[in-house]
Structure 1
Amino acid sequence: MKYRNIGKSGLKVSELGLGSWLTYGNSVNNQTADSCIKKAFELGINFFDTANAYETGKAEEVLGESLKDYRRSSYVVATKVFFPMGTGPNDRGLSRKHIIEQCDASLKRLGLDYIDLYQCHRFDEEVPVEETLLAMDDLVKQGKVLYTGVSEWSAAQIEKAVGIGKELRLHPLISNQPIYNMIERYIEDEVLSTSEQLGLGQLVFSPLAQGVLTGKYKPGTTIPDNSRAANDSTNMVINSYMREDVLQTVQKLDTVAKKNDLTLTQLSLAWILRQPGVSSAIIGASRTEQIEENVKAVDAELTIDTLEEIETILDTIKNFHPAR
């Protein structure tokens, strides 16, 4: 495994992280989740991502239970706050009340004394950015949080927040967590360059497009019964990728992978890690074998010719905008 700093911070995370969105606490039983988390740690993954909203706290509980066997300083846990955790008017968003209360709740579920990285899961149009940043900063001062970041914020939102943070002399944001893969590339327009300039690293999620970039879904065929796309509880995102032109493009990418003695999964991850602004790519796993395959991507080196070939193939779907 190789490690990178998150942005300009001193915090080092594995180039691949293990996430728990749509898996742990839901479609993957706890025993399997525990095996995957432990296999990831064994293979050098030190970065584990979750959120309070993932299965209304269950994912945090599963992760915390698995990590309790390891020395606290040996891993990095990121969790997030924003989405509803109840039916009350203050049970959501980025108000000071919700942030403080949910941090305490996450710490309890995780069984930790502090959270390494606490991120604003989305931007909140209803709350002043100053209120949000001051609440996050207070958590750092209290020792409940070591670093703070955001997720799926636009370049303009990131720039505004960093400017306010400097003005108020707050601990700086170090991360943004956006979706990024060969199919969905919006961060290349502004987010990557703005973040690099301001010192934030990208912790990208869905690097394999919810499994589409593994090649398991073929154009002109039915969806496999045991796949994520066939599961009503996990297919809300993947269905946006299930277009014939996208699946045909994926098959062409698979040919490139084979020419380079890589699996399509490894090629897709290596392509993401070529970006210096990416600190880690967050994978999901329901089997330990998936993690063993994925980690080999950190040693894959893509030549200029290979990258150009990939770009030519991806050019056919460059205007892809998934329905979210």
Structure 2
Amino acid sequence: MQMSPHANEPYANEPNLGRSGLRVSCLGLGARGTFGAGISDEEAERVLSAAYESGVTLFDTAEASGRAEEMLGKILRSKGWRRSSYVVTTRVFWGGQADRGLSRKHVLEGLRGSLQRLQLDYVDVVFAGPRPGPAHTEGLDLTLRLLRLEELVRAMSDVIDRGLALYWGTAGGAPGDVMDAYAVARQFNLVAPVCQWAELPPEPRLFRQIGLGAITWSPLVPDAALDEEPLPHGRPIAKAVGRRQPLKLGELQPLAQRLGCSVCQLGIAWSLRAEGVSSVLVGAGTPRLLREQLQALQVLPQLGPAALHELETVLGEVAPP
């Protein structure tokens, strides 16, 4: 898997998003992690330009990150890149203390707010839900739960019919909710989700049974694409898949050294191997840090059975072959 030297040149390993026809770059740029409070407009523009020129064509944001959406929209407008040459995703759920959720009202109003900040006519993918956590139907009785899911599916179908988004996906929903939402879409001839915004490892049956591709992030730098600046080398990692205690860099440093890469690059490469993953999000405050993370693609061929076994032993998780 190799990134194209130019974003407007297609490359053979650009995967489809799940079983949809939408092609996305295997690495995406998380706007929340890139356009943090401490980054200037000029530096943000340099990071985005470096990503695009390196073949990153997926830019992910959320309505809860209004400043990030505004910065991304401003840069995209100033660059004048062909709209068909990049993919923008956003998430709706958090709009304010009294303005949140997945009602038809908030889906429409939240997405319109995002489009205004992004200065776009449409987003390529809109995700429904917060970052992974309790499902928004948790605690509801079965009938009300299904009604809420039907309202969500109808609202998402409506925004696609209106041309506000081209595809939709789930974020933070329990696997049972996602499966039921897909069934509701098929039952009422509505638009079904094509992807999930998920923590690693994504739920495998969602890919195997209904073809949902996953946009996710490295478990070794879990919040680099979501919150603030990426974790610098030498700092303890916040968490890792399958572990209750923070994972220390030193636990993976020996393997990374033998492979000739950083721990961050090792985590990104491992993430790309997870079943159903279409794109892994990265975040960086400078072009140098971004290019360093993109070098994770060069690590993939080195993740043979022995290296994977050693990595999985430390993480306490088994990655699909």
TM-score range, shorter chain: 0.7 to 0.9
Summarize the Cα distance change of 1:210–1:51 in structure 2 as closer, same or farther, 3 Å threshold.
Answer: closer
Q: Give the match for residue 235 of structure 1.
A: none
Aligned twin of 2:212: 200
How far residue 299 of structure 1 moved from its aligned partner, in angstroms, is 3.0
Deviation at 1:265, TM superposition (A): 1.4
Distance 1:245 1:160 in 2: 34
Percent of aligned pairs sharing the same letter: 35
C-alpha spacing 1:77/1:51, structure 2 compared with 1 (3 Å): same
User: Any idea what the Cα deviations from partners look like across 1:162-216, whole Å, max 9, x if unmatched?
Assistant: 1111111122211111122xxxx5x4xxx12333321101100354223687642
- The question of whether the paired residues in 2 share the 8 Å contact of 1:25 and 1:62 is answered with no
CA distance in 2: counterparts of 1:160 and 1:65, whole angstroms: 38
Match of 1:209 among 218, 222, 225: 222
Q: Is it true that 1:86 corresponds to 2:104 in the alignment?
A: no
Checking the alignment, whether the CA contact within 8 Å between 1:165 and 1:172 is kept in structure 2 is: yes
TM-score in terms of structure 2 length: 0.81
- One-letter amino acid of the structure 2 residue matched with residue 79 of structure 1: T
CA RMSD of aligned residues (A): 2.4
Offset, 1:256: 0.3
Deviation at 1:53, TM superposition (A): 0.4
Aligned to 1:274: 273
Check conservation: 1:202, 1:280, Cα contact below 8 A. Answer: yes
Aligned to 1:226: none
Please point out which of 98, 117, 138 is paired with 2:106: 98
Counterpart of 1:14 in 2: which secondary structure? coil
Does the 8 A contact of 2:20 with 2:194 survive in 1?
Answer: yes
Deviation at 1:313, TM superposition (A): 2.0
Match of 1:167 in 2: 187
Question: Per the alignment, in what secondary structure is the counterpart of residue 52 of structure 1?
Answer: coil
1:79 deviates by 0.5
Task: Indicate if the aligned counterparts of 2:61 and 2:91 stay in contact, CA closer than 8 A.
Answer: yes
Change beyond 3 A, Cα 1:178–1:35: same
What is the CA–CA distance in structure 2 between the aligned matches of 1:72 and 1:113, rounded to whole Å?
10
* Residue identity in the other structure for 2:125: L
C-alpha distance in structure 1 between counterparts of 2:210 and 2:244, whole Å: 39
How far the C-alpha of 1:110 sits from its partner, in A, is 0.6
- Give the match for residue 234 of structure 1: none
Are 2:128 and 1:128 equivalent residues in the alignment? no
Q: How much does 1:314 deviate?
A: 2.2
Change (3 A) 1:269 1:205: closer
Deviates more, 1:298-307 or 1:123-132: 123-132
Aligned to 2:198: 178
Q: Tell me, in whole angstroms, the C-alpha distance in 1 between the residues paired with 2:41 and 2:290.
A: 17
CA drift at 1:102: 1.5
For structure 2, the 5+ residue unaligned runs are 4-12, 141-146, 225-229
User: What CA distance in whole angstroms lies between the structure 2 residues aligned with 1:284 and 1:129?
Assistant: 32
1:4 to 12, 15, 21: 15
SS in 2 for 1:79: strand
Which letter maps to 2:296?
A: A
Residue equivalent to 2:6 = none
Question: Are the aligned partners of 2:222 and 2:239 in contact in 1 as well (CA < 8 Å)?
Answer: no
1:15 aligns with 2:33: no
For the residues of structure 2 that align with 1:203 and 1:240, how far apart are their CA atoms? Answer: 17
Mapped pair 1:309 → 2:319:
no
Letter in 1 for 2:69: E
Q: Is the 8 A contact 1:4 1:14 kept in 2?
A: yes
CA distance in 1, matches of 2:235, 2:223: 11
Report the residue type matching 1:6 in the other structure.
L
Contact 1:15 1:298 in 2 (8 A): no
TM-score, normalised to structure 1, is 0.81
Counterpart CA distance in 2 for 1:292 and 1:157 is: 37
Q: Give 3-state SS (helix, strand or coil) of 1:202's partner.
A: strand
Aligned to 1:246: 246
1:60 aligns with 2:60: no
- In structure 1, stretches of 5+ residues that fail to align are 219-228, 230-237, 319-324
Against the structure 1 CA distance between its residues 197 and 244, is the aligned structure 2 distance closer, same or farther, given a 3 Å change threshold?
closer
Other structure's SS at 1:265 match: helix
CA distance in structure 2 between the aligned counterparts of 1:60 and 1:311, rounded to whole angstroms: 36
Q: CA deviation at 1:80?
A: 0.8
The answer to whether structure 1 residue 260 and structure 2 residue 271 are counterparts is: no
CA drift of 1:240 comes to: 9.5
Partner-residue secondary structure (3-state), 1:210: coil
Q: Could you tell me whether the CA contact under 8 Å between 2:239 and 2:246 is conserved in 1?
A: no
Cα distance in 1 between the residues matched to 2:292 and 2:92: 31
CA–CA distance in structure 1, aligned partners of residues 154 and 315 of structure 2: 42
Partner letter of residue 46 of structure 2?
S
1:27 deviates by: 3.1
**1:278/1:205 CA distance change after superposition, 3 Å:** same
Quick one: distance in 1 between partners of 2:67 and 2:55?
Answer: 25
Contact in 2 for aligned 1:214/1:265 (Cα 8 Å): no
* Residue-pair matches, total: 283
